[in-house]
Copies of this chain bind each other. A is one copy, B any other.
């Protein structure tokens, strides 16, 4: 792992990145939406509503709503699982991949600017 981060640096990093996210025009993602987005893009598929709800320890409707909103934003899409048609698998999109990549760049840049 990288060299240890001190608490003051950690908080400064969180502040700076969050400020960048608040400032840009597009609407902020909630913490729940953000962790759904990152889970879908960082962890191996398949991702289901039930699996995400269990992972985040929130109710299923909360996941459905998050997917509705992020679907409207084009960040994820949904598809029926043809093997077990009760399941819905959450899929990545180009726009979602770009948004995640952009977030990664912001964090890296703000981390690089951190004072010693």
Of the four ranges (under 10, 10 to 19, 20 to 34, 35 or more), the interface on chain A belongs to 35 or more
| B-facing residues in A1-32 (Cβ within 8 Å) | 1-15, 17-19, 21-23, 28-32
Q: Assess A56 versus B108: contact at CB under 8 Å? Given A28-B30, A42-B12.
A: no
Copies of chain A in the complex: 2
Cα A18 to Cα B42 with chains together (Å)? 14
Asked whether A103 is an interface residue with its Cβ less than 8 Å from the other chain, the reply is: yes
Question: Which residues of B are found within 8 Å of A56, using beta-carbon distances?
Answer: 19, 22-23
Is the beta-carbon distance between B103 and A4 smaller than 8 angstroms?
A: no
Asked whether A113 is an interface residue with its Cβ less than 8 Å from the other chain, the reply is: yes
Binding site for B on A (CB under 8 A): 1-15, 17-19, 21-23, 28-32, 34-35, 38-39, 41-42, 55-58, 100-101, 103-105, 107-108, 111-116
